[in-house]
Amino acid sequence: MSATMTPYFYVGDVPVYGDVILSPMAGYSDVPYRALCRAYGSAMHYTEFVPVEALIGRNVHERFRRRLDKQPDERPMVFQIFGNDARMILEAAQRIEAWGPDIIDINMGCSTRRVSGRGAGVGMMPQPELVRDTFSLLTQHLSVPVTGKIRLGWDESQQNYADIARIMEDNGAALIAMHARTKTQKYGGQADWDAIADLRARVSVPVIGNGDVRTPADIERLKAHTGCEAVMIGRAAIGNPWIFARRCREEVRPADLLDAVRLHAREMVAYYGAPHGLIQFRKHLKQYLADLPEAEPIVPALLTIQSLAEFESLLAQIGEPSMAMG
């Protein structure tokens, strides 16, 4: 990043040079896709979340170690973890701090039953003492900034984000990101942008707003409505990295779309190897090609190919007159 550029905001002493960020998403926010989104303008880079239990002990399983992998130039880099015991969270955080994150983030927003049901993820929000102890311990014992991603609360009757945010800030949190839905809403209903604005008014640390940002216009609307420092985009970024460049998906030419597909597939194979990289890529591919009618006849074949050379050869047929006749 050029020294002449002015940061949009700081997380502790870590500068962030943009206001649009790829959300941490299990199964999606891996090294290859973060690289693609970064090329289009994603300004801060969150890993997939990792359970603290997997990071404690003599050996860390390769599957979880890889989730906290990063590229040398990937900065600022945020490692995200989750747990339901403050001292275990600290122990895991101290271990991964040596792996080079710029920031460590506590996931307090995951709504899946296997996480929240045991008091982790958004399951931390009904436990203010656990939130207090976690941030107090981490900010005392780590040298990198500590942040958290929350929701509005557990359900409509327990929207305690304001109290949790105050506890986080009072105990050293350097940034708060909020998905403006409750745990029981999951991803349904409408995100409450008024709550993001309320959170922004209550705390002095930077706030990242998350929820119902589907277009470049939504980025500007959310920032104007809430005053938040940055916008986090999750589901709307899958198959649509152009949103980080504030380009509408409808304006992306098919040739540019196919270039992105090709680049992403190559990154996946380079990182995961073949055929695993292409298999992992299939969930992205469906989203990339969903609005491309000329690709429809060969999508089933693209979703079964296990060789990158064959994949690229078949992809090159999109738009050719003979495609439908072959």
- Check: CB of residue 305 under 8 Å from CB of residue 314: yes
In the annotation, is 110 catalytic?
yes
CA–CA separation, 20 and 315 (whole Å): 30
State the catalytic residue, choosing from 37, 110, 228, 248. Answer: 110
* Whether 110 contacts 121, CB under 8 Å: yes
Strands 50-51 and 14-16 turn out to be unpaired
- Per DSSP bridges, beta strands 9-11 and 14-16 are antiparallel
**Cα(153)–Cα(160) distance, rounded to whole angstroms?**
5
Closest CA to 233 of 68, 33, 77: 33
Nearest to 92 by CA among 111, 113, 67, 70: 67
| DSSP of 164-189 | HHHHHHHTT-S-EEEESS-TTTTT-S
Q: Are 322 and 258 in contact (CB under 8 A)?
A: no
Neighbours of 309 (CB within 10 A): 9
List the beta strands (DSSP E) in the chain. Answer: 9-11, 14-16, 20-22, 45-46, 50-51, 77-82, 103-108, 146-151, 176-179, 207-210, 230-233
Residues with catalytic roles: 110
